[in-house]
Amino acid sequence: MITAERKPLEEIIEYVRPFGKILLVGCNECVTVCSAGGRKEVGLLSSALQMAFMKEGKMLEIKEMTLERQCDPEYVEELSGHINQVDAVLSMACGCGVQEIAQRYREKPVFPAVNTKFMGASERQGVWSERCQGCGNCLLGLTGGICPVARCSKRLLNGPCGGSTKGKCEINPEIDCAWQLIWDRLKALGQEERYSDIIPAKDWRPSRDGGPRKIIREDLAS
Ligand code: SF4
Ligand code: SF4
């Protein structure tokens, strides 16, 4: 899933300060799962903003909505009956959702209330870790299902770098060395010999370095 964290309240306040009435929009997908921008967080942020402005003697009217998916035009259309009644939109979705609203409602200012972080997985309650950088040409079949692009601090495709200590990364001792994890996994699979296979230089053209990407499925496209 895409992970996100709510922006500091002070930053959000400055975005909405010029306005009298805003639409605060959450999303029911990834940001709900990582507790950053779902219905509950919309309610909490709404209360926090109203309290902050009341302390300043200012009124801010907030209409709250949470869409099924903010990155999907079908659901973003649901805002059309409300958008003209507000001065601005504050989105609690990832950057994809914010941009979808900005594209559909060009005349309305739209601001992000969360910082979009990475594609990750839940490690345990309240902890999410980066797992994939969407490189466009997945290598997991070569590395025992552990991603060296996202999980090695140096993005080494043929590691380790030699700096790891007791299985931890030399760049950040808080995290496991990705190449230690790859070794452990290959060993568990009984495929230790694959550790010495050289992974060829990666073709980065399908990654973000080639500019914004698109997936076009001819069988689905209209
Ligand atoms: S190799 Fe690329 S696509 Fe596969 S998990 Fe890593 S970053 Fe994601
Ligand atoms: S210690 Fe491991 S994870 Fe850290 S940079 Fe070196 S090979 Fe990559």
**Nearest atom within ligand 2 for CA of residue 168:** 1
Q: Decide whether any atom of ligand 1 lies within 6 Å of the 132 Cβ.
A: yes
Largest Cα–Cα separation, the chain: 69
Q: Is 169 helix (H, G, I), strand (E, B) or coil?
A: coil
pLDDT at 69: 98
> Does pTM surpass 0.95?
no
Query: How remote is the CA of residue 156 from the centroid of ligand 2, in Å?
Result: 8
Q: Whose CA is nearest to atom 2 of ligand 2?
A: 177
Question: 64-73: string of b/e by CB count within 10 Å (b at 16+)?
Answer: eebbebbbee
Write the DSSP string, 55-78.
HTT---EEEEEEES-TT-HHHHGG
Mean pLDDT by 10-residue block, N- to C-terminus, for the chain (222 residues)?
A: 98 98 98 98 98 96 98 98 98 98 98 98 95 96 97 96 96 97 97 95 88 90 85
pLDDT on residue 208: 84
**Beta strands in 7-146, from DSSP E residues, in sequence order:** 21-27, 61-67, 88-91, 110-112, 114-124, 127-132
Q: Give the pLDDT of residue 139.
A: 96
Ordered by start, the domain boundaries in the chain are: 2-118, 133-208
Residue corresponding to tokens 């309290």: 51
Chosen CATH of 2-118 out of 1.10.357.10, 3.40.50.2300, 3.30.420.40, 3.80.10.10: 3.40.50.2300
The 3-state DSSP composition of the chain as helix, strand, coil percent (nearest 5) reads 30, 20, 45
Q: How many C-beta atoms surround the C-beta of residue 153 within 10 A? A: 14
Distance, CA of 200 to CA of 157 (rounded, Å): 8
C-beta 112 within 6 A of ligand 2: no
Dist CA 19 CA 23 (whole Å): 11
